[in-house]
Amino acid sequence: MRDSDVNLYRPERLREEFGPFVATDEHLGAAIAENDIVGETYRRVLAETVAIVAHQWRNDIRRSALKGFLFHGGVGIGKTTMGRRIAYELSRLFGEGGEAAEHTHEDGQRHVHAGGDDVVLVIVDGADIARGRYGDSEEQLRKLFSFAREGEFHGHRHEDDAERRTVLLFDDVESLFLERGSSGAKEWHFSQNSVFFHAIDELDTAHTVVVLTTNRIDLVDTAIVDRFLSYEFLVPPADVLTQVARHRASLQKLPEELLMPVLQAIAAPDSTVRSIREVERLVTRAYVASIVGATSGTVR
């Protein structure tokens, strides 16, 4: 398995999404990027999860009982985004120029050695594996984990090659690991689960962290739930949704008066706006209407 065989994110790709780091958050700890996630609860989850992983990576804790995190909750409220953001933060800490690569010499000068550890994010879509996009699903799972461990080098790495650290994100994991005994569970799910358990139990937690997301926690095998630290994502409060709406509107230079109806919809006591994705949709619709008129997007 090679880098090009998986959905691989290097830090540059994450920087395109979140923007460069602009400040450190004294209060919670994680850095602030130009186009960052917002909301106190989100910032808290980011800071906490990164602190845990950084501890394991920094102290070379290879056999931790804690393999990673399980993000569950409704649709479009930031579970997958959190996984990507965590990877970006870890690349700041451990990647090129990060603490792992910085040394202060006696002369007091800071020397940054090119090639701190490479931090990569691999996103695996549960449905892709279940559909056999990568061929036989057990074999593919096995390869994925060895890829996370070895990178492209297949164990033939040279002494001086930078070690790679990996965030392995299984997105919409319920499609992969149905609960044993659930009516949809087919025979192959059992052997697939056991491959997964084995790989998770063997995981090198000093170099890898696994993040799972799902909006069907009820379908995820409890043996999987038990191996991860779970975070429930709830519908964000109106002020977070408002912040997202304002931010999106400013990116598109949407004038305040055209954003007003969106803000009112969010603030309404009986608001039906229940996700960040819905907010983004409303802003985009207002934006399109501001250019071509309100009826656009309707095909009669």
Ligand X SMILES: Nc1ncnc2c1ncn2[C@@H]1O[C@H](COP(=O)(O)OP(=O)(O)OP(=O)(O)O)[C@@H](O)[C@H]1O
Binding site for ligand X (CB under 6 A): 37-39, 42, 75-81, 213, 215, 244, 276-277, 280
Buried b (16+ CB within 10 A) or exposed e, 150-174: ebeeeeeeeeeebebbbbbbbbbbb
For 24, the enclosing helix (H) or strand (E) is strand 21-24
* Residue 67 partner contact from ligand X, Mg ion, none using kind-dependent CB cut-offs of 5 to 8 Å: none
Nearest approach, Cβ of residue 76 and ligand X (Å): 4
- State how far Cα 261 lies from the chain centre: 31
Name the segment binding Mg ion (CB under 5 A); options: 29-37, 73-81, 230-238, 287-295. Answer: 73-81
CB 90 within 8 A of CB 207: no
* Residue 198 partner contact from Mg ion, ligand X, none using kind-dependent CB cut-offs of 5 to 8 Å: none
> Closer CB to ligand X, residue 1 or residue 127?
127
* Per-residue CA distances from 35 to 38, 42, 77, 200, 237 (Å): 9, 14, 17, 33, 20
Q: Binding to Mg ion by residue 80, rule CB under 5 A? A: yes
For 231, the enclosing helix (H) or strand (E) is strand 229-233
* Residue 95 partner contact from ligand X, Mg ion, none using kind-dependent CB cut-offs of 5 to 8 Å: none
Nearest approach, Cβ of residue 17 and Mg ion (Å): 14
Q: Supply 101's token pair.
A: 């690569």
Name the segment binding Mg ion (CB under 5 A); options: 52-60, 77-85, 159-167, 279-287. Answer: 77-85
Treating both helix axes as pointing N-terminal to C-terminal, what angle do 187-201 and 137-150 enclose, rounded to 10 degrees?
A: 10
Q: Binding to Mg ion by residue 275, rule CB under 5 A? A: no
* Residue 225 partner contact from ligand X, Mg ion, none using kind-dependent CB cut-offs of 5 to 8 Å: none
